[in-house]
Amino acid sequence: MAAYRVTPALQRVLLAWKHISFNSRCCIIASHAHYSTAYDLNEKTFDKILIANRGEIACRVIKTCKKMGIKTVAVHSDVDSSAVHVKMADEAVCVGPAPTNKSYLNMDAIMEAIRKTGAQAVHPGYGFLSENKEFARRLAAEGVTFIGPDTHAIQAMGDKIESKLIAKKAKVNTIPGFDGVVKDAGEAVRIAGEIGYPVMIKASAGGGGKGMRIAWDDEETREGFRFSSQEAASSFGDDRLLIEKFIDNPRHIEIQVLADKHGNALWLNERECSIQRRNQKVVEEAPSTFLDPETRRAMGEQAVSLARAVQYSSAGTVEFLVDSKRNFYFLEMNTRLQVEHPITECITGLDLVQEMIRVAKGYPLRQKQADIPINGWALESRVYAEDPYKSFGLPSIGRLNQYQEPVNLSKVRVDSGIQEGSDISIYYDPMISKLVTYGSTRAEALRRMEEALDNYVIRGVTHNIPLLREIITHPLFVKGDISTKFLPEVYPDGFKGHQLADSERQELLATAASLFVAAQLRSQKFLGNLRVSTSQQEQKRWELSVELEKGVHAVTVSSSGSTYTVELAGKSLDVTSEWNLASALLPVSINGTQRTVQCISRSPGGEISLQYLGTVYKVTVLSKLAEALSRHMPEKVPEDTSSILRSPMPGSVVAVSVSPGDTVAEGQEICVIEAMKMQNSMTAARTAKVKSVHCKPGETVGEGDVLVELE
């Protein structure tokens, strides 16, 4: 039975495989390869590699292994037993139950899997055990190659303080600052003067940005000193202060390095990763619009010198903060393959995974620094299963009951580890895929990204495509005028979806009205039925009312073939499409403008959900008669939500801080929900008495489940 299950699955993978290689072939013809196809099968590396990871990165590594003729072993948790990476690999070993600390972080089980399968090397991907020196040590002890840097480099760069010291020694720019006891305000001003304004002052013991003050001159420094030293003494009982260069509007730009075990090290240009939410990257691009060749070279050379300083081998990333004057400062070094590596592969033509494997086997790099090009422009959008309307993205879970990647478009690369029917569970990172587009210019890559996002079909889980599409079309982003504060600055009140311009609103109304008419006409097309009235003429003109965002619009639609002429507000729009009501994608042409909209749902009551320009809009289309009568329909009173606290996402209850009968103040914490490595504090919407508590610590809750009821 097992064989029966696997065979068709394999076939599908093979099919997908053919598709991918076909794509890269196309790219070679167009002289743009996603990554190099120079796989020398005579260059012996490993016979079998175990990938100690899951999801898209495991699939990514397996793809290159296949091209290099290396057998692959997947490890998986029990819930992942039918995951894509398991199906793609030649062998698969279950390493434990769903929670990561019992499976993908379970070193004993993974070591056992290595022994059992005889894998000669391990690729750790990113996250999980990728920067775990203990894992690297245990592998070395068993004579298994770790595809990554040496234990020494992992350790040196894994420590924040040590890495900065090494960086300083290697003449890498670090953020100038002072950490220690500051006697008085005068000394604070002196230190600030040495660093250069603006400076940031805070108590050393305070974590993150807590109690942080920014001073732009001596006066503000004195004030900042006063507050921070008071706070340091009172809150932490620790007098030490941290005075550091404050980097205004910083950009997060990182340099990809690649080094071998023979002292060769290259920098593979930069990646701009400034678009972030909660310190997680959302949109990345390579190269950066901001760097000039000199800065790029300076950053690259410093990154390489840091790599050399720790005898780095394999692929790694040196992260910098860059201020508005192109001063750059070392942040940290990641000793692994980064999530966003594909964009570097696009512009350099290298296959980083292949290079990592070669280097791990001890081969020297084949390229010189002069061989590293910047060919064109690449963008990456991280497509997540999360709700972008809640703090730029709260995790969502579910089953992908429809899923279609836009891989039929040219110069689009999708790295994913899921397929139609996959479950996005609470146990793992909610990333669906990395959507990469490529072009000879940035404008071309951006245009492709727009198209790719519009053609991406994801149903069953909430996803962040609305936010991604807004970012990549935002004028500031298009101009390249961004910083790590982009999201909070551009959307100070949170993300609200695409805001329709008048012309866009008309396009949307016209499309919805046309779709309604197409569906109405189709529902009259009975085949072979002689009992349908023949005297009844097909309706040619429709008077409709379309409601969108509480605005009601009178619309007339006249049909002629597959083109519908929609008249609204004195304008006339021609909407043409094949009107395939079964397809998830609905390509339409509106007065000649091509758009791909997606019909998410259509109800008999006239409600149509359309994904248009990335955002899903709820439109209600009614005949003029139904609309006129609808004013008699009673308003349904929605449930009073201020007295009911519901879980905003699926997850597990970490703590419940109230019990029935307690009085809670507005904003007081009621309970904590953890989902996908994030803890969320749920607070009371108003001051009230707790009526009942419906959750216990340790319980799993679904989105919308009632947690606590207030009186």
Partner 1 sequence: MAAFTVASRGCRLLCGFRSLYKKFPPSHGGAVASARSELRCLPRLYSVGHVSVQERIDNKRKAALIGGGQNRIDAQHKRGKLTARERVELLLDPDTFVEYDMFVEHRCSDFGMEADHNKYPGDSVVTGQGRINGRLVYIFSQDFTVFGGSLSGAHAQKICKIMDQAMMVGAPVIGLNDSGGARIQEGVESLAGYADIFLRNVMASGVVPQISLIMGPCAGGAVYSPALTDFTFMVKDTSYLFITGPDVVKSVTNEDVTQEELGGAKTHTAVSGVAHRAFENDIDALLNLRQFFNFLPLSNKDPAPVIECQDPSDRLVPGLDTVVPFESTKAYDMLDIIQGIVDEREFFEIMPSYAKNIVVGFARMNGRTVGIVGNQPKVASGCLDINSSVKGARFVRFCDAFNIPIITFVDVPGFLPGTAQEYGGIIRHGAKLLFAFAEATIPKITVITRKAYGGAYDVMSSKHLRGDVNYAWPTAEVAVMGAKGAVQIIFRGKENQEEAEAEYVEKFANPFPAAVRGFVDDIIQPSSTRRRICRDLEVLASKKQTNPWKKHANIPL
Q: Which residues of this chain interact with partner 1, rule CB under 8 A?
A: 1, 4-5, 8-9, 12, 78, 81-82, 399-403, 419-422, 522-529, 531-533, 536, 539, 580-583, 604-606, 622, 625-626, 628-630, 632-634, 636
The reply to whether 332 belongs to the active site is: yes
Shortest distance, position 209 Cβ to partner 1, whole Å: 43
Of 109, 106, 123, whose CA–CA distance to 68 is shortest?
Answer: 123
CB closer to partner 1, 368 vs 631: 631
Q: Residue 62 CB, nearest distance to partner 1 (Å)?
A: 19
Distance between CA 644 and CA 138 in Å, rounded?
Answer: 51
Shortest distance in whole angstroms from residue 285 CB to partner 1: 32
Are the C-beta atoms of residues 372 and 268 closer than 8 Å to each other? yes
Beta bridge partners of 679: 674
- Rounded to the nearest whole angstrom, what is the least distance from the CB of residue 105 to partner 1 in the complex? 22
Classify residue 79 by its DSSP letter. G
Shortest separation between residue 466's beta carbon and partner 1, angstroms: 22
Is 99:427 a contact under the CB 8 Å cutoff?
A: yes
Taking the CA atoms of 689, 693, 696 and 700 in sequence, report the sign of the dihedral they define: negative
Between CA 494 and CA 600 the distance in angstroms is 24
Whole-angstrom distance, CA of residue 274 vs CA of residue 257: 19
Tell me whether residue 624 or residue 646 sits nearer to partner 1 (CB atom): 624
To partner 1, the closest distance from the beta carbon of 67 in angstroms equals 24
Per the CB < 8 A criterion, the answer to whether 707 and 672 are in contact is no
Least Å distance, CB 622 to partner 1, is 8
CA distances from 505 to 12, 219, 502, 605, 613 (A): 41, 52, 5, 22, 11
Name which of 316 and 460 has its Cβ closer to partner 1: 460
Q: For tokens 């259509």, what's the residue?
A: 602
Nearest approach, Cβ of residue 488 and partner 1 (Å): 37
DSSP code of 409?
S
Nearer to partner 1, 6 or 672 (CB): 6
315 contacts 355 by C-beta, under 8 angstroms? yes
| The pair of three-digit structure tokens given for residue 585, joined into one six-digit string | 């994608």
Angle between helices 160-169 and 151-158 (to 10 degrees): 100
The answer to whether the CB of 398 falls within 8 A of the CB of 423 is: yes
- In this structure, are residues 219 and 227 in contact, taking their beta carbons and an 8 Å threshold? no
Please identify which of the residues 91, 187, 301, 332 carries the catalytic annotation: 332
Helix (H) or strand (E) holding 486: helix 486-490
- Which residue lies nearer to partner 1 by CB, 364 or 421? 421
Alpha carbon 364 to chain centroid, angstroms: 34
Nearer to partner 1, 160 or 632 (CB): 632
Nearest to 418 by CA among 377, 461, 451, 449: 461
- Contacts (Cβ under 8 Å, ≥6 apart) of 300: 255, 267, 269, 270
If the CB atoms of residues 79 and 678 are measured against partner 1, the closer one turns out to be: 79
Which of 375, 378, 422, 419 shows the shortest CA–CA distance to 397? Answer: 422
Q: Which is nearer to partner 1, 86 or 154 (CB)?
A: 86
Q: Supply the residues annotated as catalytic.
A: 332
